[in-house]
Structure 1
Amino acid sequence: MKHVYPLADGGLDPLAPTIFHESWWLEAASGGRYEIVEARRAGRRAAWLPTFTRRKFGVKTNAPPRLVHFLGPAVDPGEGDAASRAYARAALTRELAAALPRGVIHSYKCDRFAGDVVAFQLEGFSTALQFTHELGPAPAEMLWTAMRKKKRSQIRRAQACLRIASIDDGGTFARFYADMQAARGKANYYAGEPVAALVDESLARGRASLLGAYDGRGALTAAAWILRDGTSAYYFMSARAADAHDGAVSLLVWKAIEGASARGLAFDFGGVSTPESVAFFAGFGGAPAPRVRLARAEGPHGAIWAIRERLRANRHLC
């Protein structure tokens, strides 16, 4: 069964709390290869979770694709007082956890709304905290003042020699990203993924900004793809030329933060993946924000996977 849900009349739809829960994103990011588990109440969907089961070398795994950075259960507990809603949320979440197939290695990095994870623990899942970095919704002037002095200086120097403009073509961004990764001797984590198509779709839906930093010759030296939904803007992907100004990406991020501030959105740096990113994000102020990771690994293959996870150097990073 695919994902079909009624849009809320206003405010946040609890069954689509992030951009990564929306059907158009899931379809493109997974190539249409996803299913769902769901729980229903009174003939309507009350909770759901996408699944992405794959088999490789005889091992079944279920984990979101690379272009889905965060994803957890979406639950609508319905009407009632706080206690009634909490009880309903826990029961619905337990149904989802129980519906996930056994004998599969499951792994999810959850979004900010996935706080009720005890239900998953009761179904044999392990839980751990990983971290992203966030700036809360605030006026741009306040965010600028809260930034490290060194970061503000770097951005000012970049502003003096770079022009920031929108890029309106996903292919341009995808090619630039791939070329810059290759030129810098870095692996392209998104090779083979539908980056260009998703950029174009997100721009057409008004759910993204695509920003470029151009030098005095008019050459593109850095670019950033920023996503947004009803609560947050996400620093999703960026690339820079090896000879770009050292503040080029910082300037693009600051422009994205200004845009998020104007819309009343939090700014989510999209996961802390390396020690270098910890230092880079901290320069903008804000604070680390926890995200729950859910995992269940059974059988001999699961035991091997669990050992590898415990030994992974960056296991506490998103």
Structure 2
Amino acid sequence: MTTVMHGNQLLGEMPYYLAPKGVWSVSRLPPLTRTLGSVIKPIGADPVREFRHRMHVTTRLIEQLPRFDSFFQVFDHRVKDALAFALRGFTVSARYTFHIGPDCTAPEVWVPMSSKTRNVVRNAATTLTVRPVEAPGEFRRFYEANLASRSRTNAYGTVVMRELVNAFVDRRAGHLLGAYYRGGRLAGVIGLVWDCDIFSLRARRGLLAERSAF
């Protein structure tokens, strides 16, 4: 963790994860971590001064990073400090995902959706029914079987996956949904986990298990 202080006041901090690979010093995202990045305390100034403050603090955080042969982080979409990294020689690129507000209704999501996506949804609705997956074990078995059919292993590990799914279900911090054929066979599953945002673990027949965030 790098930090920037002003007297006894914490101005900003940035966690990083060391994951050595052989002789190489590598920093990547820790397991089960969607995003990292800098956290800067606002100073309550006008936009120009606030921007300059963030740039200054972020630059000081970057300067404290150890020397890495490879450094990779994904920032939350609300983190706007990528410019400071670009100016320090890092390669910066954009990733895209869906962000749907918790107060957004189904019709509000449907209206701006492309006609092609709507047709896919309509066609799927003729053969599939979406309902809760009652047992976490059913979700895990489908997820693991989907990977095994393609000679892949669980990136999280079977034990960690079991503990993770059981934990967010028991704490009501997540929800498991399945798309079922009319005969009751699973066609796809998704695990939605939330804090301020919703993140997902999903798997579908015919495709690799995927990870994404909403």
Higher RCO (C-alpha under 8 Å, 6+ residues apart): 1
Report the identity percentage. 23
**TM-score after normalising by structure 1:** 0.55
Contact 1:169 1:200 in 2 (8 A): no
- Cα separation, partners in 2 of 1:101 and 1:169, compared to 1, 3 Å: farther
Q: 2:112 aligns with which of 146, 151, 161?
A: 146
Structure 2 CA distance, aligned partners of 1:239 and 1:116?
33
Structure number with higher helix proportion: 1
Shift of 1:218: 2.5
Q: Distance in 1 between matches of 2:192 and 2:186?
A: 17
Deviation at residue 189 of structure 1 after TM alignment: 5.6
Cα–Cα, structure 1 residues 39 and 115, in superposed 2: closer, same or farther, change >3 Å? Answer: same
How far apart are residue 224 of structure 1 and its match? Answer: 0.8
Q: Which residue is equivalent to 1:69?
A: 34
Preserved contact between residue 25 and residue 69 of structure 2 (Cα < 8 Å) = yes
SS at match of 2:164: helix
Give the corresponding residue for 1:127: 91
Query: Offset at 1:110?
Result: 1.9
1:1-318 to structure 2, matched below 5 A, reads 36-41=1-6, 43-122=8-87, 124-135=88-99, 137=101, 138-167=104-133, 169-183=135-149, 185=150, 187-188=152-153, 190=155, 192=157, 194-230=160-196, 232-234=197-199, 236-242=200-206, 270=213
In structure 2, do the counterparts of structure 1 residues 168 and 75 end up closer, same or farther at CA, with 3 Å as the change threshold? farther
Change (3 A) 1:215 1:149: same
Kindly provide the amino acid, as one letter, of the partner of residue 134 in structure 1.
Answer: F
Deviations 1:221-247 (Å, cap 9, x if unpaired)? Answer: 2101223332x433x3211234xxxxx
| Aligned positions, number | 207
Say what the alpha-carbon RMSD is for the aligned residues: 3.0
Supply the distance in 1 between the matched residues of 2:62 and 2:170 (Cα, whole angstroms). Answer: 35
Paired amino acid for 1:130: A
Instruction: Give the unaligned 5+ runs of structure 2.
Output: 207-211
CA contact (8 A) 1:170 1:197 kept: no
TM-score of the superposed pair, with normalisation by structure 2: 0.78
Question: Matched residue of 1:51: which SS?
Answer: coil
After superposition, give the CA deviation of every residue in 1:122-152 in whole Å (9 maximum; x if it has no partner).
4x43232132133554542132122233432
Q: Does the Cα contact within 8 Å between 1:72 and 1:114 map onto a contact in 2?
A: yes
Aligned equivalents of 1:220 and 1:76: distance in 2? Answer: 46
Deviations 1:96-138 (A, max 9, x none): 111111244211122212222333344x432321321335545
